[in-house]
């Protein structure tokens, strides 16, 4: 099944079930108010949501309405934990050169992962407010999984059984702030503003053979201001999602609704391009002696979608966002007064 969250003035939004072709939606309020609650009650809620999904896909829900991604929040607008790995080692190796940082110990054998902010995710078509172009505004295309409860010390194989939903996301990054935060050893904080999500979260079965070995076997296609930027494949992920979940759970249990990210999708073959600007810049540096591509400017748009044959469907829908200058503080203060 496919799930999305519509804005309703509340921080968790209103859960809807979306048809497989992303054309129709039907409210799921009668089953559970929002996705965070559904994840807490998954054994009870999931079968009922699946039943509604089956009826919707069979054309048996008379009150279904058109699905409008512009009305969407992130499918999970906030949660209690967001851990982002860096499981495409090609990306990590390039970023080491970009930042000029020391090699990461045990890079090939132990995943690296940072703890992200989970309190305020952005929807697929929402503007992305940031304070200053000089911070080096960059996108990072990723896949992610949302899990049920995970015990401390889980094995990678068992961890895969905790996967409830798959998502596609943009891990917004501010490159001018990254190196200092890495050098401090405390990790990313200001360098990682609110993360954005494609409109629908999907159960693994929706991807058929494209969910395999704990990886999303799909290309992630990125356009920047309408120009093709890259379309690397998710199959090249060096650590699978079970390994990432087990890494996060080594010294603590994870509660239902925890989100785990793949890190920037990146392939060794350079012909497929990149899903972040920093990677292209370091490749330019290596191949041409200096970076030629700048970071994003206010007004720029980025569009991301996974591609699934046949018919070139986007199983998670499309992220299509514009970067804008954040409002002055007084004005922002009103926006944060959540109803």
Site for a second copy in 38-57 (CB under 8 A): 40
- Give, as one character, the DSSP assignment of residue 80: S
Pick one of 9, 30, 58, 106: the residue that binds a second copy (CB under 8 A): 106
Alpha carbon distance 195, 175 (integer Å)? 15
Task: Determine if 335 is a binding residue for a second copy (CB under 8 A).
Answer: yes
Q: Do β-strands 301-307 and 319-325 pair in parallel, antiparallel, or remain unpaired? A: antiparallel
Pick one of 23, 51, 65, 101: the residue that binds a second copy (CB under 8 A): 101
CB atoms within 10 A of CB 157: 12
Site residues for a second copy, 200-259, by CB under 8 A, read: 247-248, 250-258
Task: Determine if 146 is a binding residue for a second copy (CB under 8 A).
Answer: no
Nearer to a second copy, 200 or 254 (CB): 254
Nearer to a second copy, 6 or 40 (CB): 40
Q: Show Cβ contacts of residue 127 under 8 Å, excluding neighbours closer than 6 positions.
A: 321, 322, 323, 324
Nearer to a second copy, 18 or 83 (CB): 83
Give me the least distance between CB of 97 and a second copy, in Å please: 14
Mark the segment that binds a second copy (CB under 8 A) among 65-73, 190-198, 269-277, 314-322: 190-198
Task: Determine if 157 is a binding residue for a second copy (CB under 8 A).
Answer: no
Give me the least distance between CB of 106 and a second copy, in Å please: 7
Nearer to a second copy, 248 or 272 (CB): 248
- Specify the 3-state DSSP secondary structure of 247: helix
For 293-300, which contacts have Cβ atoms below 8 Å and span 24 or more sequence positions?
295/133, 295/136, 295/137, 295/138, 295/175, 296/133, 296/137, 296/138, 296/139, 296/224, 296/323, 297/133, 297/137, 297/323, 298/133, 298/323, 298/324, 298/325, 299/323, 299/324, 300/137, 300/224, 300/225
Give the pair of three-digit tokens for residue 255.
């509660």
Pick one of 51, 60, 65, 190: the residue that binds a second copy (CB under 8 A): 190
Nearer to a second copy, 109 or 288 (CB): 109
Task: Determine if 149 is a binding residue for a second copy (CB under 8 A).
Answer: yes
Alpha carbon distance 123, 146 (integer Å)? 16
Nearer to a second copy, 60 or 190 (CB): 190
Alpha carbon distance 33, 92 (integer Å)? 39
Mark the segment that binds a second copy (CB under 8 A) among 26-34, 76-84, 201-209, 272-280: 76-84
To 10 degrees, what angle do helices 277-288 and 89-99 make?
70
Residues 113-142: x/- map of binding to a second copy (CB under 8 A)?
xxxxxxxx--------xxx---x-------
């Amino acid at each position: 099944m496919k799930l999305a969250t519509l804005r309703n003035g509340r921080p968790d939004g209103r859960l809807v079930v979306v048809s497989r072709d992303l054309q129709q939606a039907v409210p799921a309020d009668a089953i559970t108010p929002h996705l965070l609650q559904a994840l807490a009650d998954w054994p009870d809620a999931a079968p009922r949501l699946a039943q509604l999904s089956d009826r919707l896909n069979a054309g048996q829900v008379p009150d279904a309405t058109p699905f409008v991604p512009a009305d969407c929040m992130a499918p999970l607008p906030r949660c209690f934990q967001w851990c982002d790995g860096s499981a495409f080692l090609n990306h990590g190796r390039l970023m080491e050169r970009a930042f000029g940082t020391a090699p990461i110990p045990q890079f090939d054998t132990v995943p690296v992962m940072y703890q992200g902010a989970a309190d305020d995710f952005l929807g697929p078509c929402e503007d992305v407010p940031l304070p200053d172009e000089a911070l080096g505004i960059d996108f990072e295309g990723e896949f992610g999984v949302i899990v049920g409860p995970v015990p401390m010390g889980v094995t990678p194989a068992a961890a895969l059984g905790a996967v409830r939903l798959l998502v596609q996301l943009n891990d917004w990054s501010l490159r001018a702030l990254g190196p200092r935060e890495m050098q401090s050893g405390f990790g990313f904080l200001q360098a990682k503003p609110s993360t954005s999500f494609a409109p629908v979260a999907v159960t693994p079965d929706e991807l058929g053979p494209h969910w395999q070995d704990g990886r999303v076997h799909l290309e992630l296609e990125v356009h920047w201001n309408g120009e093709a930027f890259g379309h690397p494949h998710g199959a090249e992920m060096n650590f699978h999602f079970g390994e990432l979940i087990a890494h996060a759970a080594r010294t603590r249990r994870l509660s239902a609704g925890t989100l785990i990210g793949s890190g920037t999708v990146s392939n060794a073959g350079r012909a497929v391009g990149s899903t972040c600007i920093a990677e292209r810049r370091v490749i330019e540096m290596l191949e041409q002696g200096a970076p030629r591509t700048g970071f994003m400017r206010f007004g720029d748009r980025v569009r991301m979608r996974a591609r699934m044959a046949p018919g070139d469907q986007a199983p998670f829908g499309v992220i299509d966002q514009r970067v804008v200058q954040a409002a002055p503080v007084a004005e922002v203060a009103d926006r944060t007064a959540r109803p």
